[in-house]
Structure 1
Amino acid sequence: MKFCITFGGKRMIKHYAWICTMAIAVFLCLYPFSAGAVPKEVTIYPESAQILEETKAHLNPVGKDLQRAVFFLPGQADPNSLVTCLTIKTGLRIKDQTWRQVIRRDDEKINKLRKQIQTLKSERNTLQSIIFSLETQIQFWQYQTKTKSKTLPESINMASSIGKNIQKAYQNKLYHDTELEKLNKQLKGIGDELNQTVAQKETFWEVTILFSGPKMPEALLTYRYFLSGCGWQSMYRIDARVREKQILFSWEAAIWQNSGQDWNEVDLNISTPQPVSSIAPPDLIPLVIKQRSLSKNNSGRRSKKADTPQAITETENQPETLPSVPDKVGRGTFSLWRLGKKTLPTGLRQRFKIKENVWPADFICLIRPSLSSQAFIRATVNLHESIEISHGEATFMIDGSALGTQAFSFTGQEGVFFFGIDPFVTANLFYKPGTKTFFENKQVYKLDLVVDVQNTGTFPVKVRIEEPCPLSNDDRVKLSFQCDPPISVPDNEILIWTFDMAAGQKKSIFTAINITAPKNMNLDQWWQ
């Protein structure tokens, strides 16, 4: 008898332990973050994030000398990047770390949807039976029209009764038909949702850590891993204040995360790693001296420097001056910005201010009359120290009014920016052909180039006129020119004039050009 009780007791204990183990396993599968692991520190990169978490892991014995702990990572995590360590030194040592992918369906939602479908089908059956009953009533009263009445009053009463009952039955039928249609649509929507839920499967990573050392019930673990579905982008605002001779620079970070879990009060950092460049230098290209090929479309009078300015910016470099609220940590190849404790809900994009600066700037209206009569507002900045601003999207503004957005980045101390067109400043170019004479087998052309500049605004401006310098690519063609007023900046390829213009002022620039070429040479008379 004693043996039977003991055996039965062992069987019951084993059965109870098996039930508990299965219950814990199901609980962990359904709630993989039940151990309470939440992000403690997050470093956001442009297209990923590094997560630092702490968790208190329960230890289970494995064999004689080892213990095991299990925790879970989200499906977007990269398990190869996982680094785990003990938060507190307790004598335990990590011997091994493995992981496997766990896939589950949302069975609770599936069962809920199935119950909803069952309830709706029951309601539909009730509606269908009501509609069938109403149709039967209508048929009955329609059949009564064939009944012959003995007297006229009986016929009138019968007709009135038939009309009222058919009308009532039809009205009820139409109402229930509408309700049935709504119910069928609802059933279809829930059925589609059920099919999608059945097809969807959530993925997690089950991580197993093996420990050696003294037996303990639990261990406090700290681990880092990289997570996809996260990132940040620089958002800049560059506001030109022409009268104050300064540019207001604002830098914000647009940050997002799609981990499926809200990050509450985490230590948030953003990192600006340098893009990876080529590992090895390129091969040298042979330097070959050869005769210049002639172009059928002669565009020699337009130099590369005479291209039309962009409507918003031509960025060469850019600057900064004022202190920023976030703490910048310099690294060898990138910068890290500590934003402090922040809350990031999943699936939302939030903006955080990084810095604000005021850049001293010199503004000038740049005009290239041979290309356009419009004046582009150009700002030149020169900072006291070099700065680095990563690639992002910038909104360019002038006196608080938005001009447009475009890609932007800046490194160095000096920068040139354009802020659209000044509608009050224009310059028009005119060619005044002069004389053509022949002398000693030579043909000589004399022509005048005139640029009329005007400022119709109510404020004085500084103007810079740029025109391509007349050049000859043939030793037989000789040319000379004289400018009035003289050019302001010496340049072998561009004629540059800079001057101040008062409000409402007009000004003209004259350039006399002399061209001498062989008599039989067919010159490109581009001025015509």
Structure 2
Amino acid sequence: MKKYFAFILLSILTLSELFSQSEKVYNLKTDINNLVVYLDGVEETRLKNISLVKGRNKLIFEGLSSKLNVSSIRVSATNDVAILAISSKIDYLTNEQEEEKITKIKDSLKVIEKKITAIDDENRAFVIEKEMILQNQSLAGQNNGVSVLELQKAADFFRLRMNEINTKYSALSLKLAELELYKSKLSRELVELNAVYSFERNEITILVNSEKADTSTIELKYLVSDAGWTPIYDLKAEDIDKPIMLIYRAQVYNNTGIEWKNVKMKLSTADPNSSATKPSLSPWYLNYNNTGYYSTNNDYSKAGLYNQELQSQAQQTIANFDYKADILLEQSEKSISKKFDVVEVSVLSAEFDIKTKYTIPSDDKPYLVDVVEYNLPATYQHFAIPKKEKAAFLLARVTGWQDLDLVEGYANVFYAGTFIGKSFIYTRNASDTLDFSLGRDSKVYVSRVKQKDFSSTKLIGSKRKETQAYEIIVKNNRKLAIQIEIQDQVPVSQDSEIETEITNISNAQQDLLSGKLVWNLNLEPGKSEKINLIYSIKYPKSKPLYNANEAKRSQKMRYF
């Protein structure tokens, strides 16, 4: 029995000693050491060298983003320090130091609010005085008259005082409108600066145990949402005998609530939220990629890229509003209206190590980060459909692009130092060649002229026969030889009463189903080539044909 009580007493003393061990608490303010920015999300890494006491140490990392993914927290420590527990909480009482510009704008808004309140008070006083004067217009009772002199004095008082009240009220109203407009502008500026009125910060508490008093390096990693990057490219070509320069850039945005100050980063195409479940194979079915070709009004768009016109931004109207409430509303609308596109990314992720350190404010705006530059061998070919447009378009064909770890995105196209327009790189194409347009080439002349001597319209019995003849001329005014593809077409009948006859297509490659004609020409410098095209259509004269032969386009026009 004594042994039993001695064992219980020993156990109680041991537990008491264990629980009485004091924990050394460290409140840590740290900087971000490096980042891995994903297409959607970012991994932040913080390092802290700290002198630990023997036993338990509680490390509180303060001032972290409230958008931190708690389940992604990873901690490591050097010198045989054991990680016992990890927890996190949101600190709603933190008082982060605001940027000086934001503080000045908020102070200005407070001053303006006071002025607006003072003007409102003064205007209300004038309104009350005016109502009081109007309610006391009667100078005497109904049976008691007043003298002319008293009436004149009263009339002068009413007129002068009412005029004075109206003048001051109008001046104050004008001043009030100016203050409201200025308040509106400052409030919108705060929205642009992504200012917030309630600072929330995350705290991560790490309980560690050290066998001895020693210095340890604590590494803290975690994922944060509302940040990422999108690719943007510059494609530059100087001439048709030189390679293409592809400048790979990233638009990095940060809306985590924490500014990234002079930090080293990597850009990754991996998905940090991908499942840890082992993969499995599904059947691999081959089919045609119908999304690779984009047909526009001009047929010189090729698979892989399409040209876009630059669009102007719509102007925003300014309305009067209470700045604090409206900022929260606009920030909510701004978050809802964010545009996200789904793009295809290789399963085998790529990672780009950015050599230069960058500072990215937490304002949700895109900042350009240089990734890498490539000089790509390219072949050039001209393309023209003179029936649609009497111009030759220069196309560049790039091979070996699959090894560049490109992500689908917009590209700015330049030729000979001139901005041509925007294109879009589609990496989902299975082709080993990437084609894009460099715009119209003024040094290659293309024309399509109707030959009236060989064109005619005849009536043959109940039939009408129309003969169309065209001469296409292509001339190379460049100092280098060019390859050019010319396309045209002949009509295809869909009715047994309509007959077509092809007289001359100048050895073109003809597609019998669509009527498409293709000529591939090699032109030396200064040389030209003529192509003759003659065909006939015979149809009942009582059934006029729809004439879709000549190209037409829509044009905005102003009438007077």
Flag whether TM exceeds 0.5 (same fold).
yes
Which letter maps to 1:86? S
- Cα distance, 1:204 vs structure 2: 1.1
Residues 73 and 223 in structure 2, CA contact (< 8 A), matched pair in contact too: no
Matching of residues 21-420 of structure 1 within 5 Å: 35-56=28-49, 68-88=58-78, 90=80, 92-105=82-95, 200-211=197-208, 220-228=217-225, 230-257=227-254, 260-264=258-262, 266=264, 268-273=265-270, 307-309=297-299, 314-316=302-304, 332-340=347-355, 342-344=357-359, 346=361, 351-383=368-400, 387-411=404-428, 412-420=431-439
The share of aligned pairs that are identical, in percent, is 15
One-letter code of the match for 1:102? Answer: Y
Aligned equivalents of 1:100, 1:367: Cα separation in 2: 63
Task: Give ranges in structure 1 of 5+ residues lacking alignment.
Answer: 1-20, 29-33, 121-184, 282-303, 319-329
Q: Is the 8 A contact 1:48 1:227 kept in 2?
A: yes
> In structure 1, what residue type is equivalent to 2:436?
F
What is the CA–CA distance in structure 1 between the aligned matches of 2:81 and 2:549, rounded to whole Å? 90
CA 1:469–1:273 in structure 2 vs 1: closer, same or farther (change >3 Å)? Answer: farther
SS of equivalent residue, structure 1 residue 237: strand
SS state at 2:350 partner: strand
Shift of 1:226: 2.2
Could you give the per-residue CA deviations for residues 65-91 of structure 1, whole angstroms, max 9, x where no partner exists?
976332224235414244132322636
The aligned residue for residue 130 of structure 1 is: none
Assess, with a 3 A threshold, how the Cα gap between structure 1 residues 457 and 345 changes in structure 2: closer, same or farther: same
| C-alpha distance after superposition, 1:470-507 (max 9, x if no partner) | 21222443323133421047574211112234555554
Aligned equivalents of 1:350, 1:380: Cα separation in 2: 30
- Does the 8 Å CA contact 2:231/2:407 hold for their aligned counterparts? yes
Could you tell me which residue of structure 2 aligns to residue 286 of structure 1?
none
Deviation at 1:308, TM superposition (A): 0.6
Partner of 1:123: none
For 1:492 and 1:108, how far apart are their aligned partners in 2?
69
Say yes or no: does 1:465 pair with 2:458.
Answer: no
Q: State the Cα deviation string for residues 500-519 of structure 1 (Å, max 9, x = none).
A: 34555554322222334457
Higher strand share: 1
Aligned to 2:458: 436
1:99-154 deviation line (CA, Å, top 9, x unaligned): 233333369999x99xx99xx9xxxxxxxxxxxxxxxxxxxxxxxxxxxxxxxxxx
Deviations 1:377-399 (A, max 9, x none): 12233438655421333221112
State how far apart, in whole Å, the 1-side matches of 2:436 and 2:235 are: 10
User: CA–CA distance in 2 between the matches of 1:515 and 1:276?
Assistant: 63
| Partner-residue secondary structure (3-state), 2:33 | strand
| Residue 241 to residue 483, structure 1, CA distance change in 2 (3 Å) | farther
| Bigger radius of gyration among the two | 1
Distance 1:385 1:100 in 2: 45
- SS of the aligned residue for 1:35 comes to strand
| Letter of the 2:498 counterpart | V
Matches of 1:468 and 1:100, distance apart in 2: 69
TM-score, normalised relative to structure 1: 0.58
- Whether 2:512 is the aligned partner of 1:477: answer no
Structure 1 residues 464, 415: closer, same or farther in 2, change over 3 A? same
Unpaired stretches in structure 2, ≥5 consecutive residues:
1-22, 112-178, 275-281, 283-293, 307-344, 551-560
Q: Provide the rounded CA distance (Å) in 2 between the counterparts of 1:380 and 1:199.
A: 49
Residue type at the aligned position of 1:397: F
Q: Is the 8 A contact 1:390 1:410 kept in 2?
A: yes
1:275-329 alpha-carbon deviations (Å, 9 max, x no partner): 999xxx9xxxxxxxxxxxxxxxxxxxxxx9794146xx645279xxxxxxxxxxx
**Which amino acid in 2 is paired with 1:244?**
D
* Residue identity matched to 1:94: L
Q: 1:407 to 1:73 in 2, by over 3 A?
A: farther
Q: Distance in 2 between matches of 1:361 and 1:251?
A: 17
Which one-letter code corresponds to 1:39 in the other structure? I
Equivalent residues of 2:79, 2:216 under 8 A apart: no
Contact 2:401–2:433 (CA<8 Å) still a contact in 1?
A: no
User: 8 Å contact 2:391–2:442 — kept in the other structure?
Assistant: yes
User: Of residues 410, 418, 422 in structure 1, which corresponds to 2:441?
Assistant: 422
TM-score where L is the length of structure 2: 0.55
User: Structure 1 427/365 Cα, relative in aligned 2: closer, same or farther at 3 Å?
Assistant: farther
User: Letter of the aligned partner of 1:72 in structure 2?
Assistant: E
Residues matched between the structures, number: 383
How well do the aligned residues superpose, as a CA RMSD in angstroms?
Answer: 4.9
